């Protein structure tokens, strides 16, 4: 495999420094923060609670409702506060990534709200958001089959790399350019979310997925430890 | 966990306690909760601050961009304050366009800073009549346990103090976002502090918790610095006796001194 020198000095399969904290918002039923390099995501869970508006209620099982948002000052060029098309899509992607592990059939007619905000953004925000949300759901005591861990793999020119940062994601233009592949795995290795933006062969994609899967195990350990650390503390 | 509403029993007990001059958390009537301020918490912002008052927490960020000056002030920069009461921060907040409380919060903070002339707007002029800096102050609630207003006011001042002006390419006439100069945003040496006084029965308190805020009948927010009041707003449709209002003014100096000293330690 051709090697590439990353601007950050990271090795191809090296992700940014990660850390996690559970229980950061006392008002919420569950909350968590996930930090990946310069990207910081916070998440809060409210519910299960009555589902409004009524016509969206599902009598068969509960509804998971995610809201992803970037704070106006989280990026270098201020973004207008509020939801836009991008955040609306990522909100839905986040729901799809999380829903397979949440036992919503225990709460027919109810809704679980998950609010995710980026306080600082440097690429990889949807992954950081999903990681924070998964911990917040567990912290809220929502029954779950599993936990999910999210990470992007990618490709810079011809090299498969892990966890693109802002520069690699939006400014790198050498050769075949940059490809970003955010993925989400359950701890037993099932894929609940994948997106691809760029230029990549099926073989390379398989390789990227292997790399991301390995990294997701490390993220899982950090999430688990943060949840353990929160035990016995006030919510 | 905070409840949707405060129960009647709790409300009555808060009132009964106050009649004896007591609060649930043992604070004096004019005493703030523990204050913590952290600046530079969001690195892509020109300036930022996280403020905690007890369990209440807000995040304030400052961003800057080039805009056109208003015709009545061709040599002055602009300022815009925006506040979002995030559903993330309380089960009481809902998604959707800003409700009145968020709009009012932003406007009260705006006046607290503008009327005090905290920012030197003339220094934000690039080309008279054509190009000036606009300062955006964006406030987000992270956890609402009462008195978001005062926490936001402190956060705005701290974030402005923290702010550096972005680089501006004069030839291309564009802002180089993400690159900050070493030049601090020009603000006054002293700073205003907004303090909100709440009337509960015959008592006046400051820095209410969410439960206390639920019992509050009326409030007066005063933006001031060293004995000079620069902004004020009364909220809620309950009248104040003249004596009550004077009591608030009498309480202002000491309350201001206490909280100012705490803020000054961090925001120099």
Mean pLDDT of chain B: 92
Domain count, chain A: 1
What is residue B242's predicted lDDT score, i.e. its pLDDT?
87
The CA-atom distances, in angstroms, between B65 and each of B115, B174, B186 are 22, 9, 15
Mean predicted confidence (pLDDT) in A11-28: 97
A40 vs B contacts (CB less than 8 Å): 42
- Say which range, A19-33, A162-176, B33-47, has the weakest mean pLDDT: A162-176
Q: Which of A132-141, B122-131, B224-233 has the lowest mean pLDDT?
A: B224-233
Optimal mutation site among B38, B88, B105, interface A, most CBs of chain A within 10 A: B88
Does residue A9 lie in a domain region? no
B143: nearest CB among A25, A73, A78 = A25
Helices and strands counted in chain A (H then E): 4, 9
pTM over 0.80: yes
Does the pLDDT at position B107 exceed 60? yes
Q: Would the pLDDT of B98 be above 90?
A: no
Residue B44 sits at the chain A interface (C-beta within 8 Å): yes
- Identify the CA nearest to A40 among candidates B148, B45, B180, B167: B45
Q: Band of the pLDDT at A109, cuts 50, 70, 90? A: very high
Whole domain around residue B114: which residue ranges? 18-266
Q: Compute CA distances A210 → A13, A157, A217, B121, whole Å.
A: 10, 19, 11, 55
Which residues of chain A have a CB within 8 Å of the CB of B48?
73
Dihedral of alpha carbons B222, B225, B226, B227, sign: negative
Instruction: Check if A43 contacts B (Cβ < 8 Å).
Output: yes
pLDDT at res. A2: 56
Give the whole-number percent of chain B exceeding pLDDT 90: 76
User: Which positions 175-204 of B are in contact with A (Cβ < 8 Å)?
Assistant: 177-178
B62 interfaces chain A, CB cutoff of 8 Å: yes
Would the CB atoms of B1 and A81 count as touching at under 8 Å? no
> Is A178 within a domain?
yes
Q: How many domains does chain B have?
A: 1
Identify whether B90 is part of a domain: yes
Q: Which of A35, A52, A71, A73 is the mutation pick for testing B, counting most B CBs within 10 A?
A: A73
User: Region B57-68: what's the mean pLDDT?
Assistant: 96
In a domain, residue B33? The reply is yes
A76 and B136: CB-CB below 8 Å? no
Picking from A125, A174, A175, A173, the residue whose alpha carbon sits closest to that of residue A150 is A125
Task: Give the structural domain span for A24.
Answer: 18-224
Q: Which residue has the higher pLDDT, A9 or A2?
A: A9
Chain A CB within 8 Å of residue B260 CB: no
Nearest chain A residue (CA) to B43: A120
**Residue A77 forms part of a structural domain:** yes
pLDDT given at position B265 = 87
Name the minimum distance, in Å, from the CA of A75 to any CA of chain B: 5
By Cβ distance, the residue of A43, A73, A76 closest to B48 is A73
Nearest to B151 by CA among B160, B141, B161: B141
Confidence of residue A1 (pLDDT cuts 50, 70, 90): low
C-alpha distance from A30 to closest chain B C-alpha (Å): 9
Model confidence band, residue A124 (pLDDT cutoffs 50, 70, 90): very high
Instruction: Find the CATH number of the domain harbouring A201.
Output: 3.30.230.70
Q: What is d(CA A184, CA A190) in angstroms, rounded to the nearest whole number?
A: 8
Q: What is the dihedral of CA B6, B8, B11, B17, to 10 degrees?
A: -140
**Which positions in chain A touch B6 (Cβ < 8 Å)?**
none
Question: Alpha-carbon dihedral of residues A132, A137, A141, A145, nearest 10 degrees?
Answer: -110
Contacts B65 to A, Cβ<8 Å: 78
Range with the largest mean pLDDT of A105-114, A190-199, B90-99, B219-228: A105-114
Greatest Cα pair distance, chain B, in angstroms, is 68
Residue B172 reports pLDDT greater than 90: no
Helix then strand count (H, E) for chain B reads: 5, 12
B200 vs B206: CA distance, rounded Å: 10
Among B14, B26, B9, CA closest to B210: B14
Confidence at residue A67, expressed as pLDDT on a 0 to 100 scale: 96
User: Mean pLDDT across the stretch B167-183?
Assistant: 88
pLDDT band at B173 (very low <50, low <70, confident <90, very high): confident
Q: Is the pLDDT of residue A139 over 80?
A: yes
Contact in structure between B151 and B52 (CB atoms under 8 Å): yes
Report, as an integer, the average pLDDT of B180-204: 93
Residues 6+ apart with CB under 8 A from B46: A73, B61, B62, B63, B64, B163, B164, B165, B166, B180, B185
Question: What digits encode the pLDDT tens for the residues B217-250?
Answer: 999 999 999 888 988 888 888 888 889 989 999 9
Residue B194 lies in a domain: yes
> Which ipTM score applies to this complex?
0.77
CA distance B268 to B253: 20
Q: What local confidence, expressed as pLDDT, does residue B39 receive?
A: 96
Query: Smallest CA–CA separation between A78 and chain B, in Å?
Result: 6
Residue B46 has pLDDT above 80, yes or no: yes
Give the pLDDT of residue B2. Answer: 63
Residues B63, A122: C-beta atoms closer than 8 Å:
no
Chain A residue with the nearest C-alpha to that of B52: A25
The answer on pLDDT for A196 being more than 60 is yes
- Alpha helix stretches (DSSP H) within B78-227: 100-115, 148-162, 210-215
Q: A219: which 2 tokens?
A: 């993220």
Nearest CA in chain B to A70: B140
Instruction: Report yes or no on B229 lying in a domain.
Output: yes
Q: Quick check: is B11 in a domain?
A: no
CA distance B50 to B36: 8
In this predicted structure, the answer to whether residue A53 has a pLDDT above a threshold of 90 is no
Cβ distance A113 to B61 less than 8 Å, yes or no, reads no
Is B9 a domain residue? no
What is the domain-level CATH number for residue B203?
3.30.230.70
CB distance A73–B42 less than 8 Å? yes
Indicate if the pLDDT at residue A150 is higher than 90. Answer: yes
What percent of chain A has pLDDT above 70?
Answer: 98
* Distance from the first to the final alpha carbon of chain B: 35
DSSP state of A81: S
Q: What is the pLDDT of residue A234?
A: 67
Bridge partners of A152, per DSSP, are: A182
CB A136, CB A58: distance < 8 Å: no
The mean per-residue pLDDT over the stretch B3-13 comes to 88
pLDDT band with cut points at 50, 70 and 90 for residue B171:
confident
Beta strands in chain B (DSSP E): 35-39, 47-53, 56-67, 78-84, 125-127, 131-143, 164-169, 174-184, 193-200, 203-206, 218-225, 228-235
Mean pLDDT, residues A116-140: 97
pLDDT at B1 over 60: no
User: Is pLDDT above 90 for A233?
Assistant: no
In a domain, B196, yes or no: yes
B213 touches A at CB < 8 Å: no
Contact B142/A at CB under 8 A: yes
Question: Using a CB-CB distance cutoff of 8 angstroms, which residues of chain B are in contact with residue A123?
Answer: none
Sheet strands (E) in chain A: 18-22, 30-36, 39-50, 63-70, 110-120, 148-156, 159-162, 178-186, 191-194
Task: Report whether B217 contacts B236 (CB < 8 A).
Answer: yes
Which value, in Å, is the radius of gyration of the alpha carbons in chain B?
19
Output the CA angle A75-A226-B148, nearest 5 degrees: 50
Any domain includes A1: no
CA distance A221 to chain B (A): 26
């Amino acid at each position: 495999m051709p090697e590439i020198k990353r601007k950050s000095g990271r090795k191809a399969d090296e992700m940014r420094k990660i850390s996690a904290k559970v229980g950061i918002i006392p008002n919420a039923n569950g909350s968590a923060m996930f930090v990946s390099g310069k990207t910081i995501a916070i998440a809060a869970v409210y519910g299960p609670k009555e589902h409004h508006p009524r016509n969206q209620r599902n009598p068969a099982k509960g509804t998971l409702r995610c809201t992803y948002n970037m704070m106006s000052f989280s990026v270098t060029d201020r973004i207008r506060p509020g939801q836009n098309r991008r955040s609306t899509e990522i909100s839905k992607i986040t729901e799809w990534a999380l829903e397979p592990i949440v036992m919503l059939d225990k709460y027919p007619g109810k809704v679980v709200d998950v609010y995710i905000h980026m306080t600082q953004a440097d690429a990889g925000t949807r992954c950081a958001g999903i990681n924070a949300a998964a911990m917040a759901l567990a912290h809220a005591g929502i029954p779950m089959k599993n936990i999910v861990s999210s990470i992007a793999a990618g490709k810079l020119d011809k090299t498969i790399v892990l966890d693109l940062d802002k520069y690699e994601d939006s400014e790198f233009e050498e050769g075949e350019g940059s490809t970003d592949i955010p993925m989400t795995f359950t701890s037993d290795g099932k894929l609940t979310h994948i997106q691809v933006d760029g230029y990549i062969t099926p073989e390379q994609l398989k390789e990227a997925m292997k790399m991301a899967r390995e990294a997701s195990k490390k993220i899982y350990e950090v999430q688990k430890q943060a949840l353990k650390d929160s035990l016995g503390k006030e919510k | 966990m905070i409840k949707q509403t405060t129960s009647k029993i709790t409300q009555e007990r808060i009132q009964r306690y106050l009649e004896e001059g007591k609060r649930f958390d043992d604070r004096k009537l004019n005493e703030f909760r523990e204050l913590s301020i952290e600046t530079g918490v969001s690195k892509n912002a020109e300036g930022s601050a996280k403020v905690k008052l007890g369990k209440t927490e807000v995040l304030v960020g400052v961003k800057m961009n080039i805009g056109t000056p208003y015709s009545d002030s061709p040599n002055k920069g602009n300022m815009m304050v925006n506040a979002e009461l995030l559903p993330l921060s309380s089960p009481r907040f809902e998604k959707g366009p800003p409700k009145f409380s968020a709009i009012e919060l932003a406007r009260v903070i705006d006046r607290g800073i503008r009327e005090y002339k905290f920012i030197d707007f003339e220094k934000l002029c690039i080309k008279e009549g054509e190009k000036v800096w606009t300062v955006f102050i964006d406030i987000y609630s992270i956890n609402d346990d009462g008195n978001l207003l005062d926490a936001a006011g402190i956060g705005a001042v701290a974030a402005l103090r923290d702010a550096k002006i972005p680089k501006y390419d004069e030839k291309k006439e564009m802002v180089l976002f993400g690159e900050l100069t070493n030049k601090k945003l020009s603000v006054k040496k002293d700073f205003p502090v907004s303090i909100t006084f709440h009337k509960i029965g015959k008592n006046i308190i400051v820095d209410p918790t969410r439960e206390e805020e639920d019992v509050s009948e009326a409030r007066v927010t005063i933006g001031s610095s060293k004995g000079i009041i620069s902004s004020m707003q009364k909220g809620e449709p309950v009248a104040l006796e003249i004596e009550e209002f004077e009591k608030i003014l009498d309480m202002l100096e000491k309350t201001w001194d206490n909280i100012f000293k705490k803020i000054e330690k961090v925001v120099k």
